[in-house]
Chain A
Amino acid sequence: MSAAIKNLLYRMADDELIIGHRNSEWTGLGPILEEDIAFSSLAQDQIGHALANYTILESQFGEPPPDTVAFNRKEKDFLSCHLVELPIGEYDFSLMRHFLFDHSESCRYELLLKSSFAPLAMLAKKIKGEIKYHTLHADLWITKLGNGTEESHARMQTALNETLPYALGLFEASDYEDELISTGVFAGEAALQAMWLDRITPIIEQAHLSMPDMTTIEPKYGGRRGYHSEFLQPLLTEMSEVFQLDLETKW
């Protein structure tokens, strides 16, 4: 039982840490000041959510402290999906990733409100309102740019087409699905994916973007089992550079 919950917590926390780091790369580079601030705030929230999950791992399961887990773990031990690992690219891609990822996170915590594992149910309650700001922000820009100029529409459509295979990788089933579902800890990745699709489809329609045929898309799996894209290791090296200078230092 504890192996199943630990696996779920690491999948969630690693996604949040890595996308938080990626979003922080927009600090100072945002296309307009408000968006620079938005992505920096999203980053701060996401890294905070990762910290909350790593803290549950430490307090409930005796895992190493959050800093050690975040900055001194091998690449293969991370369970993040490929979607969050990809470089920030152009703003259209980062925005589309933010839209697809944050809706999945929002749905995930909504399902966890009813979790039989009390620390996660409590965290879900705390995080609910914060994520609302994330999804509202994403929805606002996706619809604005989808209905903007010919170029902005074309860019958002391309971003959607190219990001979806990675987004579907979010829902890669673990070996613990049945156990998590039967014990009431989590409704499982398949239920999450269905809920997510219901949530994003109306926004995509409002943005006048067309949803590619999901059955023809091959999801980018592997991350949940420690097989990562070429982009994770360079990110980890950069993120932990200062921490690695002296592992014994008290921060």
Chain B
Amino acid sequence: MTTINNEEIYTVLRTVMDPEIPVLSVVDLGMITDVQTSDDGVTVKMIPTFVACPAINVIKTNIKESLEHAGYSDVNVLIDETIAWSSDRISENGKLVLEQFGLGAPIQIDGILDLKQIESVNCPHCKSENTTMRSLFGSTLCRSIHYCNDCKQAFERFKPL
């Protein structure tokens, strides 16, 4: 019974998008760490992506409101202090959605991050591997700037972290 409820809750959570990347849900982004339902209500545990992510409170409110709108009451959204976010938590679907949105997807880093991983990205437009990193920092904290040497377009990439 609890499992079914949780799946329904995850369905609602898949409609809550990252405000900076409005096609990527908080579930695909790997921000949700736990969902619990009991007689006292629903508790959703989540983690911010970057420590300085300015969207965290907006996301918390959006999760609460979406679940309430779907008919759940006593919704509690908590920050999970036991898990650190990594771009490895982004789902396969999330990576696909990022590329369709025009952003390069992060590669799996397994806890080790070096310049090579940061520089290596396929162009989200023409899929070419022949790209150059232009800047480690982009228009939001989670993006870097790259250039595709084949289709001659600049693009942003969701940083591996």
- B84 & A137 in contact (Cβ 8 Å cutoff): no
CB of B131 within 8 A of chain A? no
CB of A45 within 8 A of chain B? yes
CB of A133 within 8 A of chain B? yes
**Complex interface: chain B residues within 8 A of A45 (CB):** 50-52, 141
Residue of B nearest to A44 (CB): B52
Knowing A37-B137, A37-B138, A44-B141, the reply to whether A133 touches B52 (Cβ < 8 A) is: no
Knowing A45-B51, A45-B52, A47-B52, the reply to whether A133 touches B86 (Cβ < 8 A) is: no
A95 CB → nearest B CB, Å: 14
- A136 & B81 in contact (Cβ 8 Å cutoff): no
- How big is chain A's contact interface, by range? 20 to 34
CB of A62 within 8 A of chain B? no
Complex CA–CA separation, A136 to B118 (angstroms): 10
Knowing A38-B136, A38-B137, A137-B137, the reply to whether A129 touches B86 (Cβ < 8 A) is: yes
A interface secondary structure, majority? helix
- B118 & A41 in contact (Cβ 8 Å cutoff): no
Complex CA–CA separation, A40 to B86 (angstroms): 22
A37 CB → nearest B CB, Å: 5
B interface secondary structure, majority? loop
In this complex, how many residues of chain B approach chain A with their Cβ under 8 Å: the count is 23
- A41 & B141 in contact (Cβ 8 Å cutoff): yes
- Chain B 21-51, CB-CB to A under 8 Å as 1, else 0, gives 0000000000000000000000000000011
Knowing A44-B52, A136-B115, the reply to whether A129 touches B161 (Cβ < 8 A) is: yes
Residue of A nearest to B53 (CB): A48
Most A CB contacts (10 A, CB to CB) among B134, B136, B138, B161 go to B136
Within 8 A of B (CB), among A32-58: 34, 37-38, 40-42, 44-49, 51-52
- B81 & A34 in contact (Cβ 8 Å cutoff): no
- B139 & A48 in contact (Cβ 8 Å cutoff): no
CB of A130 within 8 A of chain B? yes
- A125 & B52 in contact (Cβ 8 Å cutoff): no
- B84 & A126 in contact (Cβ 8 Å cutoff): yes
Knowing A122-B84, A126-B51, A129-B161, the reply to whether A41 touches B113 (Cβ < 8 A) is: no
CB of B121 within 8 A of chain A? no
- A48 & B51 in contact (Cβ 8 Å cutoff): yes
CB of A127 within 8 A of chain B? yes
B86 CB → nearest A CB, Å: 7
CB of B135 within 8 A of chain A? yes
CB of A76 within 8 A of chain B? no
Interface set of A (CB-CB < 8 Å, partner B): 34, 37-38, 40-42, 44-49, 51-52, 119, 122-123, 125-127, 129-130, 132-133, 136-137, 140
Given A133-B137, A137-B137, 13 other A-B residues pairs in contact with their CB atoms under 8 A = A37-B137, A38-B136, A41-B141, A44-B141, A45-B50, A46-B52, A48-B53, A49-B51, A51-B52, A119-B81, A122-B84, A127-B51, A129-B113
Interface set of B (CB-CB < 8 Å, partner A): 50-54, 81-82, 84-86, 113, 115, 118, 134-139, 141, 145, 159, 161
